[in-house]
A and B are shown apart, each in its own frame.
Chain A
Amino acid sequence: MAKVLVLFAHPRPDRSEVNLPLFETAQNVQGVTAVDLYARYPDFSIDVDSEQAQLIAHDVVVFQHPLYWYSAPSIMKEWQDLVLEHGFAYGLHGKALHGKTFMNAITAGAMSEAYSTEGMNHADLRSLLAPFEKTADLCGMRYLAPFVMYGAGRAQEDNRLDIHRNGYDDLLKALVADRLDLDKATHASVLTDVLDDFILKGEVV
């Protein structure tokens, strides 16, 4: 059993159509600690010690957020800048996060076609998230492919929300139960609603 930490960042949850329901899903999964960063630190005065202790107490860290300017809402940058200290997360004696797992759970406005070398962004989503991946690397964490919902602005109208919520539920439960095929997820480009190929069946060794 792995302990999963979902750090959620959305500055306008009152206007959120996908992320907030996803966060509610996370809150209801056994073994998941779900934290709303904007609610915990509305003034951005992040408590570094307690955040570090919380990281140590978990095996998997998920950044759940809408994609803002190919990155996360600002509080997540603030959180990284303050919590991932030298001597804790990186550096000669900074090994507190070694061996843990990290991933992004993202909602993007554009459709999937935009995230390809031929598309509007001229790159796929995973390569655009390189700063997160490099951060995980430097902290000695395994970086998994991002779990993503494209075209989130129209998800409600297209009735895609429930499917995605179920996918997120599956993902988190598999992470808790150590049933996610981490090697496969590490090498994938993205993770979407259909996770059958990534979830291990039978007994976990």
Chain B
Amino acid sequence: MGLLGDAFVYLCAAVIAVPIANRLGLGSVLGYLIAGVVIGPILGIVGKETADVQHFAEFGVVMMLFLVGLELRPAMLWKMRQQLIGLGGLQVVGTTAVFTGIGYLFGLSWQSAVALGMILALSSTAIVLQTLNEKGWMKTQGGQSSFSVLLTQDIAVIPMLAVLPLLAAGNGVGHGEAHGSDSHGDAAAHGGEALASLPGWAQALIILAVIAAIIIAGRHLLRPVFRFIAEARLREIFTATALLLVIGIALLMDFVGLSPALGTFLAGVVLSDSDYRHELEADIEPFKGLLLGLFFLTVGAGIDFGLLFGAPLTIFGLAVGLLSVKFALLFALGTIFKLKGADRWLFALGLAQAGEFAFVLFGFAAGSGVLETGILQTMTLVVAISMVLTPALFIFYEKVVAPRAVATSDREPDKIDSRGRVVVAGMGRFGQIVSRMLLTSGYDVVILDHDPQTIDNLSRIGIRTFYGDATRPDLLHGAGLEDADLFIAAVDDRDKQTLMVEHVAKTYPKVKILARARDRHHVYELENAGAHYAEREVFEGALALGRRAFTELGRHPFRARTKAQEFRHHDLAMLDDLRANYNDGGVDTSYIDAMRAHSDTLFEIMRVDRGDERHERTERGWNPPPKGDATL
């Protein structure tokens, strides 16, 4: 099969298996694994060449760490530091220690045991976050604690990548020739070739210089570059720049002998504070998704089923053991950190599996020889099975644990963050006012705009805006719409605005949508697209000016206000009345007739106080009683 043939097989498997797995609550990672199993061991369509493909697909891991870095805004990390270091740190270290001990008891060398312990300490970010979001458990204390631990694990991968080759150096190869050998595996295999001739201190110096260069360039050089590219308004060139950045850093790190993943992670962290964060995320995300998917496909294709059928009890026993040990540790941690009732169960059940990072790290471990092939084969199966069982654990929580927690409702309610999260799309004349109102009131607001000039001006006055075309679904996703409470659509372009509202309403049915409308017809269009409320952009402003015109013409300011209110009231009533008519047949004769009738009424209402006695009876509001009333 040629390249296209391979691509066809892999894509076909993914396209069929992943949506089905997702629908079953297994998550996309398992979907890819299953697809791999089907085209590999079961159908035998792909074979040995998967190893090469896997090597290529590992670049998805590098991209994933770039994205992880992008997510880690230093300010947010600092705010979460107690949860991360305390809860997350204890989980990673404690679980690693326990599994290391178990591995050692099973007769592994201590290096292998440590490697395995670290790898099994990690849980599946992909499955757990997806489930928590889907079920709406993210904002419970159990959900928040799970999130903290997953975040710590994501960060912990970086030191693990660094430690694995070191463990390898002391393992397998034998103590005598371990040092300075080139058998470090992928991460550092080619590394240092360029620098090998230099003395150790010079190598260290160069490495430090490279890291410093990434941080400094990220802070000061990349922003103007991205701005320049963004101003060209060529979306694919922005994407190309983002890819170039990731690949460039990976090459550079390779050159000096460091892990490419570490370098891109660092670049991600540096850029996480920049205005272009969401756009970068949106651009890299599909590449990362596909490459990682491919990676998991190859893992699935490489699974040795002979092993499973040879010793099914051992494999399942190990998987259940893995889940039980992790569950017990998490449950204990939850108790220490005062998680109550259902929250503690959610936390412990949810994170009990091993995760997709395990496959990544197994890949590294295989390359560096820290774990034997036999163990890797077995553990790959064990990890996969622990992931397959996870949806069952969540179902157990949902059907058994959660209802009981509600029944005995004497405990405190879950702490729900009620401040509300808002995404504002469009930071023009309209969006700015709305955003400033919300921001100055302390709401958590994510702002998107596609004009670099606007972004610069706003960041100068201290308002953080993210660059990107807010009508792009991927960018909206990157802005965190799935956990937003409110979406404010304030894009200038009429049609883009409608399309965007339609997309958000369909994709994020829980998010309330408030939209800026061009005119009355646009209000109807936006409502039909799914907006919960649409406000005509010039309506209130024009009313204010009309009111001012009344006072300039000699009307009492309070009377001018009352008249403006009457006009407003009537116009809104007309907006309501004409809706059905417009939705029925657009601007047809019946619509025009209805509008004309409304204009006549408006004329009557507004004319009333021109000293015309005939209208006295129809007028309301602070009128003196009629003169002839004898009871007064």
Select A11's contact among B558, B560, B625, B627, beta carbons within 8 Å: B558
Give the docked Cα–Cα distance between A40 and B558 (Å). 9
* Contacts of B148-168 to chain A: CB distance below 8 A: none
Select B560's contact among A10, A12, A17, A42, beta carbons within 8 Å: A42
Question: Least Cβ distance of A119 to chain B in Å?
Answer: 12
Residue of A12, A38, A39 with highest tally of chain B CB at under 10 A: A12
Residue of B556, B561, B609, B627 with highest tally of chain A CB at under 10 A: B556
Chain A residues near B557 (CB-CB < 8 A)? 38-40, 42
Q: Contacts A14-B556, A38-B558 given: A109-B622 contact, CB under 8 Å?
A: no
What is A's interface to B at a CB cutoff of 8 Å?
10-15, 17, 36, 38-40, 42-43, 73, 109-110, 153-154, 157
On whether the beta carbons of B609 and A14 are closer than 8 Å, the reply is yes
On whether the beta carbons of A73 and B622 are closer than 8 Å, the reply is yes
On whether the beta carbons of A109 and B556 are closer than 8 Å, the reply is no
On whether the beta carbons of A109 and B623 are closer than 8 Å, the reply is no
Select B622's contact among A15, A110, A154, A157, beta carbons within 8 Å: A15
Chain B residues near A10 (CB-CB < 8 A)? 622
Q: Give the 3 A-B CB pairs with smallest separation, nearest first.
A: A38-B558, A42-B557, A11-B622
Question: Least Cβ distance of A73 to chain B in Å?
Answer: 7
* Contacts of B581-632 to chain A: CB distance below 8 A: 609, 621-625, 627, 632
Give the docked Cα–Cα distance between A40 and B557 (Å). 8
Q: Contacts A12-B621, A14-B609, A15-B624 given: A110-B556 contact, CB under 8 Å?
A: no
Q: Contacts A42-B561, A109-B632, A110-B632 given: A13-B624 contact, CB under 8 Å?
A: no
Give the docked Cα–Cα distance between A185 and B632 (Å). 28
Query: Could you list 13 further interchain pairs (A-B, Cβ under 8 angstroms) beyond the known A17-B624, A39-B558, A153-B627?
Result: A10-B622, A11-B558, A12-B621, A13-B559, A14-B609, A15-B624, A38-B556, A40-B557, A42-B558, A73-B622, A109-B632, A110-B632, A157-B627
Chain B residues near A13 (CB-CB < 8 A)? 556, 558-559
* Contacts of B535-551 to chain A: CB distance below 8 A: none
Residue of B609, B621, B632 with highest tally of chain A CB at under 10 A: B632
Chain A residues near B560 (CB-CB < 8 A)? 42
Question: Least Cβ distance of A70 to chain B in Å?
Answer: 14
Nearest residue (CB) in A for B623 is: A15
Question: Least Cβ distance of A133 to chain B in Å?
Answer: 25
Q: List 13 A-B contacts (CB under 8 A).
A: A10-B622, A11-B558, A13-B558, A38-B557, A39-B557, A39-B558, A40-B557, A42-B557, A42-B560, A109-B624, A109-B625, A153-B624, A153-B625
* Contacts of B262-302 to chain A: CB distance below 8 A: none
Chain B residues near A39 (CB-CB < 8 A)? 556-558
Give the docked Cα–Cα distance between A110 and B625 (Å). 11
Chain B interface residue count, CB cutoff 8 Å, equals 14
Chain A residues near B561 (CB-CB < 8 A)? 42-43
Q: Contacts A11-B558, A38-B558 given: A153-B623 contact, CB under 8 Å?
A: no
Question: Least Cβ distance of A13 to chain B in Å?
Answer: 5
Give the docked Cα–Cα distance between A73 and B621 (Å). 12
Give the docked Cα–Cα distance between A140 and B179 (Å). 92
Chain A residues near B625 (CB-CB < 8 A)? 109, 153
Chain A residues near B559 (CB-CB < 8 A)? 12-14
Question: Least Cβ distance of B631 to chain A in Å?
Answer: 8
* Contacts of B501-529 to chain A: CB distance below 8 A: none
On whether the beta carbons of A12 and B623 are closer than 8 Å, the reply is yes
Question: Least Cβ distance of A157 to chain B in Å?
Answer: 8
Give the docked Cα–Cα distance between A154 and B623 (Å). 15
Chain B residues near A73 (CB-CB < 8 A)? 622
Chain B residues near A17 (CB-CB < 8 A)? 624
Select A153's contact among B621, B622, B632, beta carbons within 8 Å: B632
Give the docked Cα–Cα distance between A38 and B560 (Å). 11
Give the docked Cα–Cα distance between A43 and B556 (Å). 13
Give the docked Cα–Cα distance between A73 and B622 (Å). 9
On whether the beta carbons of B621 and A154 are closer than 8 Å, the reply is no
* Contacts of B64-85 to chain A: CB distance below 8 A: none
Question: Least Cβ distance of B628 to chain A in Å?
Answer: 10
Give the docked Cα–Cα distance between A38 and B625 (Å). 21
Chain A residues near B627 (CB-CB < 8 A)? 153-154, 157
Chain A residues near B623 (CB-CB < 8 A)? 12, 15
Question: Least Cβ distance of A10 to chain B in Å?
Answer: 8
Residue of A36, A40, A73, A153 with highest tally of chain B CB at under 10 A: A153
Chain B residues near A11 (CB-CB < 8 A)? 558, 621-622
Residue of B558, B559, B560, B621 with highest tally of chain A CB at under 10 A: B558
Give the docked Cα–Cα distance between A10 and B621 (Å). 12
Give the docked Cα–Cα distance between A38 and B561 (Å). 10
Give the docked Cα–Cα distance between A22 and B275 (Å). 62
Question: Least Cβ distance of A150 to chain B in Å?
Answer: 10
Give the docked Cα–Cα distance between A154 and B627 (Å). 7
Chain A residues near B609 (CB-CB < 8 A)? 14
Give the docked Cα–Cα distance between A83 and B417 (Å). 36
Chain B residues near A12 (CB-CB < 8 A)? 559, 621-623
Give the docked Cα–Cα distance between A36 and B624 (Å). 19
Chain B residues near A15 (CB-CB < 8 A)? 622-624
Give the docked Cα–Cα distance between A44 and B623 (Å). 20
Chain A residues near B558 (CB-CB < 8 A)? 11, 13, 38-39, 42
Question: Least Cβ distance of A77 to chain B in Å?
Answer: 15
Nearest residue (CB) in A for B609 is: A14
Question: Least Cβ distance of B610 to chain A in Å?
Answer: 10
Give the docked Cα–Cα distance between A157 and B622 (Å). 21
Nearest residue (CB) in B for A110 is: B632
Binary interface encoding of chain B residues 556-578 relative to chain A, with 1 for a CB under 8 A from any of its CBs, else 0: 11111100000000000000000
Question: Least Cβ distance of B18 to chain A in Å?
Answer: 57
Question: Least Cβ distance of A31 to chain B in Å?
Answer: 25
Nearest residue (CB) in A for B610 is: A14
* Contacts of B207-226 to chain A: CB distance below 8 A: none
Nearest residue (CB) in B for A36 is: B556
Give the docked Cα–Cα distance between A17 and B623 (Å). 11
Give the docked Cα–Cα distance between A110 and B559 (Å). 26
Give the docked Cα–Cα distance between A73 and B558 (Å). 13
Nearest residue (CB) in A for B559 is: A14
Chain B residues near A154 (CB-CB < 8 A)? 627
Give the docked Cα–Cα distance between A10 and B560 (Å). 14
Give the docked Cα–Cα distance between A39 and B559 (Å). 9
Nearest residue (CB) in B for A39 is: B557
Give the docked Cα–Cα distance between A15 and B608 (Å). 12
Chain B residues near A38 (CB-CB < 8 A)? 556-558
Question: Least Cβ distance of A34 to chain B in Å?
Answer: 15
Question: Least Cβ distance of B619 to chain A in Å?
Answer: 9
Question: Least Cβ distance of B602 to chain A in Å?
Answer: 20
Nearest residue (CB) in B for A20 is: B556
Question: Least Cβ distance of A47 to chain B in Å?
Answer: 14
Nearest residue (CB) in A for B555 is: A14
Nearest residue (CB) in B for A108 is: B632
Nearest residue (CB) in A for B626 is: A153
Give the docked Cα–Cα distance between A183 and B20 (Å). 92
Give the docked Cα–Cα distance between A198 and B240 (Å). 92
Give the docked Cα–Cα distance between A43 and B557 (Å). 9
Question: Least Cβ distance of A190 to chain B in Å?
Answer: 18
Give the docked Cα–Cα distance between A109 and B622 (Å). 13
Give the docked Cα–Cα distance between A109 and B628 (Å). 12
